[in-house]
Structure 1
Amino acid sequence: MIDTPEPQSAALEIIQRPDRFVVEWQEGGELHAAVWHSENGAPPPGRIIAVNDDLTAAGALRLALAGTAMLWRGDFPTARRLLKALDTRIVRPANRSRTPAEEFHAQRQLQSRRARLLGMILVQLDPSPTVSALRRAPDVAAACLHAYGVVSETRLVSLRELLGVSSAYHWFVEGVAVPALGARIHPHYGVFSPVRGEYVDLVAQAPLPSHRLAFDIGTGSGVLAAVLAARGVQSIVATDREPRALACARDNLDRLGYGERVEILNADLYPAGRAPLVVCNPPWLPGKPRSPLDHAVYDPGSRMLRALLDRLGKHLTPDGEGWLVISDLAEHLGLSSRRDLLSAFDSAGLQVLDRLDTKPRHPRATDHSDPLHAARAAEITSLWRLSPH
């Protein structure tokens, strides 16, 4: 392959319409057009050129650093190898003099930079949907239909996003084993997968204050609602405000046979009324979400956590309990403190009845090469049993 810093290609024109960006270009003597699409809401790059198999990782990196995106017109497996090679060039060595909080922010900056640069390799997604313009392209129709719905127009998407769509579809089809259920949860695209089973196990083990009614706040995949149903809770109201999460929860609960006992509601935290049990596994790190999945992990200024706690007493019956399932990783990173959490309980008029703890079992907790290993190894996930004073 010839290392050319900029392949010989005409630039594509980016046109801003009232509700979208459209990219137009000449190819084979014909005018082509495609709508810019990014699930993360990323704006289109300032410049796009067409490239092919002659482009190397070094050349792609130079173009990406210059803010030029590359519409791939070669072989699909070659594009995938190029993306992997480009990823290995985007490195930032750890600095052991940083505090855990500084290292955390440095890692997030690196992740953002990696996403921006890797997102510069684009593919054309045609209706059906298909990437028929590329040689040896896989069949992505089912995966794209699952993630995007019906694609009725030609789109430009990043290759990285398309590969993520395909990977997510694999997890949807295969499902994630949940030992507490003795079954699998099938996460939809853009919905957090219950791969960290320790928080699910806590909900499966804590003593139930009632089998009559429970609220599952921020249900996501529906896994905690399913665990409560499996434990014999007769009626459950599960809420979320993300359409994909609502559809995912409904799909999983119906699959498991709990659909008639669980009401799925689009709500900002709480449904109307009170329940003897309210369960929530909120985002556990203060920070700005940068992707749909980030909303399950990052809570800017701990706003969701505080709103959840402040309103909890108004949605519990007199003898009810709120189960807050949350990791203390933010404390080990120096982003928050245990005093902050206990103060939030007190400000909301809540008392701690009990706390169940568990250590993480995910691979990153034992990965010594991770710059945040010390914090991850010390992490504890807790189920706080709360009630009004």
Structure 2
Amino acid sequence: MDRGASGRRRATEHGIGAPPPLKPGAATRWVPLACIALAIFAVQALFTTGGTFRFGAGDDYYDQLGEAFLGGQLYLPTQPTPQLLALADPYDPTANASLALHDASLYRGHYYLYFGPFPGVVHAAVRVLTQRSVPDGPVQMASASLATVCFWLIVERFRRKHALRVQAWVTLLLTIGFGVGGSMLYLVARPAIYHEAVLVAMACTFAALAALSSAWSEGVLGARAVLVCGVLVGCAIAARVTYLAYAVAMGVCVLAWAALGRACWRTALGRFAAFAAPLIVIVGLLLLYNWARFGSIFETGLSYQLAGPSLSGGVNPMTCGGNLGSFFQLYLASFPRLQLHYPWVPFASGPSPVWPVWFPREWMVPAAGEITIEPPLVSPFLLAPVSLLGLTAPLAFLWGVSLGRSLLLAAIPTLGGA
């Protein structure tokens, strides 16, 4: 008998020379995270598919735009009807109501989109990979899921770097509040071009923040990280131009890296250049995209929009300054109308939500007539009802630390949604 083999067997039996046992939870610590993530994704899919878990047809605007890009054109494949083109004023909403492609832009006999083009690029890429069209629903669902994962990464990295005394379950509760908060579920529950642009931009923004936070948490702001961050936030701007504000904020963070003494200004400016370069390229492409369609780098198509007031001098009730007070009350102080069947969040023409008693209904009627009222999603009663308790947190100094801690913990699950 081999003495060496016998000795190794005896040593192993006594735990000598054996591989170290796995730490409790080391191999399974991702299992709870995966289960929670799957539960969040399931709820998002429930709302995206209208409770069927089968993606149906929504708006196909961006899918048409992706098809157009692959065909080497910038206008939609759908062509205006001869009846629409024959109108004296094809932009008159009373005349084109049954003839026009809603909310598209009509210019020189073709339909265009005034929305950001990047989701169309996503649809084009999916078409290349799958050789089939894809509705809005899967793209919106994927964007919401990506944003949720990136949200968890950002908060968890911050916790591990700066708040180790905070337990990991706090991050999970915040992520749940973000992933299934009122605004997120409303966005995915409406498969439409309006929400797809916002969700794609949001996913790109959180992915950019995740890339930036990864480098920041390691203490070395690498050129690759800021370059990826710049590309992603540039894609967000290409989906929703208002996300330019996030690019400004991230650029300030890159420069603050030097101001905080983390690096010399020469290195910081180099990192800022790596961040800004893709942004400049993407913004330049957007301006070129506008010029190729309408002959002006600043024209997005809104001037040729086939929705709302006539271009001959109508007043848009959605942007009329006289309605700002009504909208402020509507979005901040009204109770939402929810129902137990799809669509869970209904739409209505005119001021039909149930108003709080302290705001009489007649105060809420817009001055410019009937408009489409969307649910008051920024209302604290929908987004984060429990987080209102956070307003009483200063009373913790009077009532005791334990009560204040309880109030804050009660607010955590919904603060993410806000």
TM-score normalised according to structure 2 size: 0.22
Relative CO higher for 1 or 2, CA cutoff 8 Å, sep ≥ 6?
2
More helix by share: 2
More strand by share: 1
Structure index of larger Rg: 2
TM-score normalised according to structure 1 size: 0.23
